[in-house]
A = this chain, B = another copy of it.
Amino acid sequence: MPEFDEQQIAAQSWFRSLRDRITAEFERIEDEGAALPALPNAPATPARFSFTPWERTDHGGAPGGGGTMGVMKGRIFEKVGVNISTVHGQFNPEFAKNIPGAAEDPRFFATGISLVAHMANPHVPAVHMNTRFLVTTKRWFGGGADLNPALPQDEDTIFFKSAFERAGNRHSPEFWPKHSAWCDEYFHIPHRKRNRGVGGIFYDWLGADTQAEFDHHFAYTKDVGETFLSTFPAIARRRMAQGWTAEDRHALLKYRGLYAEFNLVYDRGTTFGLKTGGNTEAILMSLPPEVIWE
């Protein structure tokens, strides 16, 4: 499998170029916000991403690809992680049963981008975005993007979600209804009787077994990335200069407790990754920088 085919290379290249554009845009936001009030421990000069490569070894010790963690701790972005990875190897037999196409042959390839931003200003929502391309004996895309404000504002929610609605509709009338409902269902926190955030999209198993399917679902997955770039930075710019009180910050830190609870108790990527020897540092980059539980 280390010889990647055209689809694998195209997907990997897209995720990397998307990472480059997103991190550059986030750094521009740090530049633009350099004169704004910031947290006491924020850097004095505009922050930059720090990138750390990591390598995966397969369970048998064989090379299995790897990835690059990108982290920035700034004045506007209190903590943001933008990770890309391209990994391959063999699923263990027990796990393979639950993965499409892996029961027949446990070999897999996965490439993707994963992003979580926790913002210093309580009026700027936190955000999560992740898209990926999986190859076993089957091929598919998955991903999602959802907005996580401590202090929800309809204007932002509508702006964000309607953009993803239009993105879905550009590719299939089924995508938005299905993927927005999936998002609401996935990010539910039963023990809090509420959702983690205000919604967005979540999707998986968008098949790519034919070239036409690949093209269709790759185009949608790219559009999800473009839609993220055309929405979240705009929301951040709209809100980052808004004044906030100690009470607002307190509400943010409490909200982040809920965010951490979802990720550690329910999020399949997180719990699966931690329990199967994934890269702990990359997985837990999603956790908020500062949290309170009262």
Q: Is the CB of A274 within 8 A of B280?
A: no
Contacts of A284 in B (CB 8 A): 191, 261, 293
Interface positions, chain A 220-274, Cβ under 8 Å from B, are 253, 257, 260-261, 264-265, 271, 274
Residue tally, chain A, CB below 8 Å to B:
26
Cα of A249 to Cα of B192 in the assembled complex, Å:
30
**Given known contacts A190-B274, A274-B191, is B293 in contact with A292 (CB within 8 Å)?**
no
Is A290 among interface residues, defined by CB-CB distance under 8 A?
Answer: yes
Is A288 among interface residues, defined by CB-CB distance under 8 A?
Answer: yes
Is A289 among interface residues, defined by CB-CB distance under 8 A?
Answer: yes
Q: With both chains docked as a complex, state the minimum distance between the C-beta of A51 and any C-beta of chain B, in angstroms.
A: 16
Cα of A194 to Cα of B265 in the assembled complex, Å:
20
Is A291 among interface residues, defined by CB-CB distance under 8 A?
Answer: yes
Contacts of A76 in B (CB 8 A): none
Q: Is the CB of B289 within 8 A of A191?
A: no
Contacts of A191 in B (CB 8 A): 274-275, 277-278, 280, 283-284
* Contact string against B for A residues 178-211, beta-carbon threshold 8 Å, 1 for contact and 0 otherwise: 0000000000001110000000000000000000
Cα of A275 to Cα of B261 in the assembled complex, Å:
12
**Given known contacts A289-B293, A291-B291, A293-B289, is B260 in contact with A271 (CB within 8 Å)?**
no
**Given known contacts A274-B191, A280-B191, is B292 in contact with A292 (CB within 8 Å)?**
no
Is A294 among interface residues, defined by CB-CB distance under 8 A?
Answer: yes
Q: With both chains docked as a complex, state the minimum distance between the C-beta of A268 and any C-beta of chain B, in angstroms.
A: 12
Is A287 among interface residues, defined by CB-CB distance under 8 A?
Answer: yes
Q: Is the CB of A287 within 8 A of B257?
A: yes
18 A–B pairs (Cβ distance < 8 Å), ordered by A: A79-B293, A191-B274, A191-B275, A191-B278, A191-B280, A257-B287, A260-B260, A260-B264, A260-B291, A260-B293, A261-B284, A265-B271, A265-B274, A287-B293, A289-B294, A290-B290, A291-B291, A291-B292
For the complex with contacts A190-B277, A191-B277, A260-B291, 8 further pairs of A-B residues with Cβ separation under 8 Å are: A79-B294, A190-B274, A191-B275, A253-B290, A260-B264, A261-B264, A261-B284, A264-B264
Across the A-B interface, give the 3 residue pairs with the lowest CB-CB distance, nearest first.
A264-B264, A287-B293, A191-B274
